[in-house]
Structure 1
Amino acid sequence: MLDRLDSTLRRDPHRPAVLATTRTGAVRVRATRGDLADLADGCAAALRARGLRPGDTLGVAVRPGPRALAVLLAADRLGLRAAVLDPGAGPDVLRARLALARPSLVLADATAQAVAGWARPLARRAHLALPDLAELGPVATLGPRLPGCAPALDLGAPRTALPARPTGDADAAVVFTSGTTSRPRAVVHTRSSFAAGMAAVGALVDPRPHRPVLGGTFFVLVPSLAQGAPVALPARSPRVLARQLARLRPQATYLTPPQLRAALAADARFTGGVWTGSAPAGAELLTRVKRAGAARAWGVYALTELFPAAAVEQEEKAAFTGDGDLVGALLPGVRARTDDTGELLLAGPAARHRYLGEDPDPWVRTGDRGRLENGRLVLAGRCKDMVLRGAENIYPGLYEPALHVPGVELAVLVGVPAEDGDERLVALVQPRPGTDPRTLRAALAAPLARMGTARPDAVLLADIPLSGRSRKPDREAAARWAASRLTARRTGGTGGPGCGRRGGAR
């Protein structure tokens, strides 16, 4: 797939590759095929000049777009392992992830450096306690450099000595998922598993040359560009996104369920096929998309560990009357089974090789309960603690320790259903006896601010229910109580029975 993409980019270099849309809906070319190929070559030469060699780890904190794609293509060209870093995860989590990955170099754009605190003046101003970067490897800026940012990556290095792409299989990417700040967890994909995933997406979407595709993920960009289709990055504003869809009339669109709901609220019209995933997509949402003009509307079941795994079209999903959530037929090569607890396990060519620091395992634990019915996969709810808000996976274990400030006896993060079908993230904090609620909320302000995009929607002070012989927090009971309390707030009720031995929320 990447060989085909490289060939396509160098053929007809003046053709558009990445499109952008103005606020009025006007379409402009953000990067041509030649621009992408040139930037990828420049990045590869610069990284090689910095001494990076096959097997080294490259940290990548660059916003989605042409630069990020060029960096990943350059890493593949040199046989590097790209560790994808999310500055929005908060400095404590980011620091732990960097310490585990130990990149030889971190490439970051100016925005990522400002968010993560790598720009030292900004870090001091934000009172961030960050590690010595010398322990983690040097940092270089890709793209426009602002005051306080790391030195720019030198894209002027000679390109004549660039090696051919390595042959054989090896680590390609590290993508962080769950774990804690003391023991972060990361998925390791190899070149072959990435290639299988991209080939599966290409077969599912089957993009045609020269007609635009709307989507922003790596698994959308690569197959589309390899087939000769230009890609438009989705606008953030729902109104601008609606104008973008009207102007582009894309042959294929990939948006998350929250993006779809926002676009529909802005009276967006769709064309061609629409694919959605990263969060549950019900039959009602897919039906609305088809009513808004889409020829086909697909829900895609995928995980960071295996992308994609199954897909279902709206008509089939709407006709399903059984118990659970039909997510469709397994895609070619994907195998499924359940363990003794009913948890769904998946395997296949696109499955991750291992978790960083752990032994390889062909079977991916999904955290979902599921079953196969006539070759179709039906889910029956999640068995992980993970909370899915919007299209973002939030793992409570990453953030709960930070909530245990003085005066806190116990704290958990739980997801509660929202009216729009999404989940809300709620922090349930049990104060120690005699703790003043106002003082405690003030103490929680700093750790909450450091949670980045995982900051909860609500903080409730209450006793947390316990269960089992070990008296562990009962998350299901806590989530039910939090949901009833939030409902009571909206309706002016009492919120039902108390939570825990003292009951009530403060």
Structure 2
Amino acid sequence: MLTELLDSLHAGDGRPALPGATRGELAELVRGYAVALADLDPGDTIALAVRPGPRSLATLLAAYHLGLRVAVLDPTAGPDVLRARLALAAPKLVLADAAAQAVAGWAARLARRAHLALPELGAIAPVRTVGRRLPGSPPALRPRPGRLPRRYEGEGDAVIVFTSGTTSRPRAVVHTRRSLTAGMTAVHDLVRPVPGAPVLGGTFFVLVPSLAGGAPVAFPSRRALPRQIRELNPQATYLTPPQIRAGLAAGARFTGRVYSGSAPVSAALLSAVRRSGAAEAWGVYALTEVFPAAAVEESEKAAFTGDGDLAGRLLPGVTAQVAPDGELLLSGPTAADRYLGDDPFEWVATGDIGRVTEDRKVVLGGRAKDMILRRAENIYPGLYEPSLHVPGVELALLVGVPAGDGDEHVVAVVQTTAGADERTVRSALREPLARMGSARPDRLVFARIPLAGRSRKPDRQATAALAARR
């Protein structure tokens, strides 16, 4: 898929690609950055801290063309964690834009208020500035003139994506050139981009398949999403659940096909997207280690009445099995190769409790680590949380609150939609709560559920602390 995109980019092509760049301009950037990075050897690692846009995509494509490995930096992880991650990745070169350098330098104190922080980048590896260079910044990595270097035709690592882990033991997912291409091919087949019609989405796994299919891509607006959708009329949109909820609250009217993932996607949320105008609404089950793994359309998810959360049918080539402790294991072409420094995966442990039906549908029962122990009974929240999404409920979690002697109380924390009447919602929840049997909560709390991480997932630990205070 990446090779297909690279081959489709030609200088002088005036068709739009990304905000601020035509396909021809993107082609020139890729060629220029490939020339500028040609002194590095295939397999060398470069670390990238560049905001999404034409230059970051061109740098990634140039690195892939040369056979380099890219370690993606997340400025929200904190400087100590990032320093440990970079020590593990051992990059030969750090590429950072002016914003990333400011976060690591003169604007560090201000950036920390926005939960952004980077270590002093120059202490890790040589730094080059991508894009606009401010006074005092390291030398610029400028696109150079010249012929496009010869394409690397071998296999090997393509990208390092850091996930959970500790400062002493970072965890880094390594995708190879093969798994990266398989993942983006799977996204292409799922999204089915039509040439010329816009796609709205900001992740690399959306950018490449869409552009390879001839569709221009726009990045989701944080402040004016309803107007952006109205003006673009996108054929497909990929947003996280919090982005969708914010868009719906602001009155967004969706068009085409809408996809959501990176955090649990409820049937109620997908149904709300359909009611807002979308032709289709899809939940995508994906991990950093397996992207993507399964998908489900709104009508099928809404019709599911069994215990647990229907995550969808496994995508072609993806296989699954369930470990003796109930954990879902995945394998297939879209699976990463390994964690950096570890042996290759035989099966990827998802951390999710789940089962697989005879027709290859995945039903999740929550995270294994989220299990609640009450009166010597194991309660998996994910089995029961979908039933709490009655009309008027935006988010709902079951959490455990210590009750002494190792036992826990089960608390249902419910966040209502804007304008919903709490008494009406409480009444609507009576029947779902009664059907939960031995897992029925000891308490029902109405509160706003804390979110965490870049994908703004519900924060169970913070929610449990909130429930304990209540």
Please report the TM-score for the alignment, with normalisation by the length of structure 1. 0.73
Contact kept, 8 Å, 1:416 with 1:482, in 2: the verdict is: no
1:360: how far off? 0.6
**Is 1:54 aligned to residue 42 of structure 2?**
yes
Aligned pairs, number = 398
* Native 8 Å contact 2:17 2:217 kept in 1: yes
CA displacement at 1:88 relative to structure 2: 1.7
Structure 1 residues 417 and 356: CA distance shift in structure 2, 3 A = farther
> Conserved in 2, the CA contact under 8 Å of 1:324 and 1:380?
yes
Specify the alignment match of 1:419 in structure 2. Answer: 415
Give the CA deviation at 1:354: 0.5
2:165 — aligned with what?
A: 179
Q: 2:161 aligns to what SS in structure 1?
A: strand
2: CA distance, partners of 1:365 / 1:2: 27
Give the unaligned 5+ runs of structure 1.
Answer: 20-29, 387-414, 427-451, 459-475, 489-506
Contact between 1:351 and 1:362, CA under 8 Å: does it hold in 2?
no
CA–CA separation in structure 1 for the residues paired with 2:98 and 2:118: 17
What secondary structure sits across from 2:132 in the alignment? Answer: coil
For the pair 1:104 / 2:92, whether they are aligned, the reply is yes
The aligned residue for residue 378 of structure 1 is: 363
Determine whether 1:32 maps to 2:22. Answer: yes
Secondary structure at the counterpart of residue 163 of structure 2: strand
Q: Which amino acid aligns with 1:40?
A: V
Letter of the 2:267 counterpart: A
How do residues 210-359 of structure 1 correspond to structure 2 at under 5 angstroms? 210-237=196-223, 240-359=224-343
Over the aligned positions, Cα root-mean-square deviation in angstroms equals: 2.9
For the 8 Å contact 1:416–1:483, the answer to whether it is kept is no
Unaligned runs of 5+ in 2: 372-410, 418-447
Q: Deviations over 1:264-287 (max 9, x none)?
A: 011111111000000111010000
CA separation of 1:42/1:168 partners in 2, compared to 1, >3 Å: closer, same or farther?
A: same
Determine the structure 2 residue equivalent to 1:65: 53
Q: Secondary structure at the match of 2:71?
A: strand
Structure-2 residue corresponding to 1:439: none
**Could you list the runs of 4 or more consecutive aligned residues of structure 1 that deviate by over 3 angstroms after TM superposition?**
121-135, 415-418, 420-423, 452-458, 478-481
Q: Secondary structure at the match of 2:7?
A: helix
Change (3 A) 1:420 1:227: farther
User: In 1, Cα distance between the equivalents of 2:179 and 2:117?
Assistant: 37
- Contact kept in structure 2, 1:416 and 1:424, CA below 8 Å: no
Q: Is 1:365 the counterpart of 2:352 in the alignment?
A: no
Whole-angstrom distance in 1 between the partners of 2:48 and 2:266: 34
CA drift at 1:151: 1.9
Displacement of 1:149 after TM fit? 2.4
Alignment correspondent of 2:465: 482
User: Do the aligned partners of residues 164 and 276 (structure 1) sit closer, same or farther apart at CA in structure 2, a change above 3 Å counting?
Assistant: same
Cα distance 1:456–1:203, how it changes in 2: closer, same or farther (>3 A)? closer
Cα displacement (A) at 1:365: 0.8
CA distance in 2, matches of 1:258, 1:130: 25
SS of alignment partner, residue 25 of structure 2 = helix
CA contact (8 A) 2:242 2:456 kept: no
Deviation by residue 1:129-169 (Cα, 9 ceiling, x = unmatched):
987756521011101122342221132x3422x43221131
After superposition, give the CA deviation of every residue in 1:28-52 in whole Å (9 maximum; x if it has no partner): xx2100111111111111112xx31
CA distance in 2: counterparts of 1:194 and 1:181, whole angstroms? 27
For the residues of structure 1 that align with 2:76 and 2:47, how far apart are their CA atoms?
A: 15
Residues in 2 aligned to 1:453 and 1:314: alpha-carbon distance in whole angstroms: 25
Identity of aligned residues (%): 62
> Which amino acid in the other structure matches residue 292 of structure 1?
S
Amino acid aligned to 2:160: V
Q: Give the conservation status (yes or no) of the 8 Å contact 1:213–1:224.
A: yes
